[in-house]
Structure 1
Amino acid sequence: MNDTRPPTIDPAAASRWRQRPHTIDGRFASAWLHEEVARRMEDRLSWIVRQPRSWLHWEPVRGGLSVHEQLVRRYPGVPASMHAAVPEEAAWARRVARGPWWRRWATWFRSAAPTVWMPAQDQTVDLLWANMSLHMADEPLALMRAWHAALNVDGVLMFSCLGPDTLRELRELYAGLGWQPPTHEYTDMHDWGDMLVATGFAEPVMDMERIVLTFDSPERLLRELRELGRNLHPERFPGLRGKGWRKRLLADLARLADPAHGGRLRLTFEIIYGHALKPERRLAVTPEMRLSVDELRSQLQRRRD
């Protein structure tokens, strides 16, 4: 087995999830929890003193699109770009981020520089924003390397993802019923920190919080879980289940009712936040060294600074 791959993520299922347009009620939209986490992560940007000269929004539809406008307000006039694996999502995200014509006109009239759209694959940026995507990656080290390659030296990665305490109530319920896990396992924040260092990042800072959500019905709970993602566990139910199984599931989900929350169904989500820097590449000193012209220029410029 590839030791860089989480043991409970099915690569084929993860690939299908990446390639499938993310819609809610037939339209492109972000899950409520992802929007809330994005809002909280945006507050953490106050910890970053250096202001970026460019930034990249990674998977904006899946991670929380409404925060894009907050980031534009935080960094007015700073060129921005978007990356989305699904072309339809990229087109929709850019359309939403541009806003209605009257808002674009008002922005231009105030002489505030508008957002500039750049092809993400041809540019490097000072800030990469990746909200709630890492826990769905079957090759997280490869994803981190892609983030690393997209950043300038001294650039900052800001990301969030689900942690291992997520859906503990649902996991216990499924285990008690003898069913396969309801979701794949999530990685601990300390392991994420180690992987960041292994992929070339420096000074990773990790923290976490738990968010408790309550739902007024089993149907509402299932609907919102489907908005968050999919079960990528290799041992998930292998086929379709019938109406009888769904009826039993809805009845058993009622056991998640919490008297402390008025009998509403309770689920816990562990949210991990992290940020790290892309340091200057250290040159290995050997009797014979080969440097590109760009590397030599970079080294000389840094010595002048």
Structure 2
Amino acid sequence: MNASRLFDRPLILRRRRRAARMGAPTFLTERVADDMADRLAATLRTFACAVDLGTPDDAVRRALAGHPRVGRLVAVDALASAAAARGPTVVADAEMLPFADGALDLVVSALALQVVDDLPGTFAQIRRALKPDGLFLAALVGGASLTELRQSFALAETECEGGLSPRVAPFADVRDIGALLQRAGFALPVTDVDRFTVRYDSPIGLMHELRRLGATNPLAERRRTPLRRATLMRAVEIYGERFSDPDGRVRATVEIIWLSGWAPHESQQKPLRPGSATARLADALGTREIPAGEKADPGRTQ
């Protein structure tokens, strides 16, 4: 294993194959896919050639089928076995896109890019693959997700094993994502957060669902020894004590970071040149402008 890599990509693919065989629950990707369809409906553009980048099931393809803004949609997936089930598919990794510069009108992605090692590089590749005025719209798991599970395992390992091991991936922060979009050369970058709570009968139920999603520990530097039963049971106990509702069910926080950016084009809005304003801010606010160096009079009413 290359120590410079944060995520174990071969392991992630094996777990996704296992999740597909188990019939992974799709409520999360379906929620994101429906939101993505709504966001695209609000744009004033149509996108003839679109790519669904790495979404772990076909929820986005189903949500965008027949969408008035989206034409041909091709999936990009590293799992060759997914090609037949998804229709038009390019078998490729999200970190090595096989598209020529300026080939695409739209790139969408749902819940896939949080396990990409080189996120700035992937953003740069997407930006180059888009035509001028092409759109990148994606959702990825954010930093507040599974905070309850993180805290429970941290306390349990501290008590039972005298130290911590990396068990939950470090998710992205919305402020960092916005900066990465700008760094990759996207125009009009926008980020926002959708945070909600999912409830389970027990912490074990949550862990089983993460397994069925193929979303268990993907870290390259994870501990390779089996989890001790005593540590697991203590984590379950702490989770129930700290994060349960009166009816006995437990809470799990999910945070989805939404991001969008456009490939630059001359028709897009641009910031005005400094000093080009035609109206004074003081006039718009109905107040008196205070010259630099002059102190405001606290007793003066405007």
- The answer, yes or no, to whether TM exceeds 0.5 is yes
**d(CA) in 1 for partners of 2:110 and 2:203?**
27
Letter in 1 for 2:203: P
| Matched residue SS, 1:121 | coil
Distance 2:143 2:109 in 1: 19
Higher helix share: 1
Q: Are the structure 2 counterparts of residues 129 and 223 from structure 1 closer, same or farther at C-alpha, using a change threshold of 3 Å?
A: same
Distance 2:218 2:70 in 1: 40
CA distance in structure 1 between the aligned counterparts of 2:132 and 2:69, rounded to whole angstroms: 22
What secondary structure does 2:65 align onto?
helix
Deviates more, 1:27-36 or 1:167-176: 27-36
Call closer, same or farther: CA 1:233–1:256 in 2, change over 3 Å.
Answer: farther
- Report 1:173-184 matches (<5 A): 173-177=152-156, 178=158, 179-184=164-169
2:148 is aligned with what amino acid? E
**How many residues are paired up?**
249
| 1:183 and 1:236 in contact (8 A); partners too | no
Matched, 1:241 2:227: yes
- Alignment of structure 1 residues 88-167 onto 2, 5 Å: 88-94=81-87, 117=88, 121-122=98-99, 124-167=103-146
- Using the TM superposition, give the Cα deviation of residue 139 of structure 1 relative to its aligned residue in structure 2, in angstroms: 0.9
Q: Which sections of structure 2, spanning at least 5 residues, go unmatched? A: 91-96, 159-163, 267-302
Tell me, in whole angstroms, the C-alpha distance in 2 between the residues paired with 1:29 and 1:172.
26
Return the offset for 1:19. Answer: 6.2
SS at 2:71's partner residue? coil
> Contact 1:28–1:92 at 8 Å: present in 2 too?
no
**1:169-224 deviations in Å (ceiling 9; x for gaps):** 12222222224343121121121111111112111111102110000123321011
Q: After superposition, what is the alpha-carbon deviation per residue over 1:254-291, rounded to whole angstroms, capped at 9, x for unaligned?
A: 3354225x22110111111011101149xxxxxxxxxx
Asked whether the 8 Å contact 1:161–1:271 carries over to 2, the reply is yes
Of 225, 228, 242, which residue of structure 1 is paired with 2:210? 225
Distance 1:27 1:91 in 2: 18
Counterpart of 2:53? 58
Q: In terms of Rg, which structure is larger? A: 2
Instruction: Select 1:259's aligned residue among 240, 245, 261.
Output: 245
**Residues of 2 paired with 1:137 and 1:118: CA distance?**
20
1:53 and 1:133 map into 2 onto residues whose CA distance is: 23
Residues of 2 paired with 1:127 and 1:263: CA distance? 45
Paired with 1:18 and 1:146, the residues of 2 have a C-alpha distance of: 21
How far apart, in 1, do the equivalents of 2:125 and 2:15 lie?
A: 21
Residues 47, 70 of structure 2: 8 Å contact kept: no
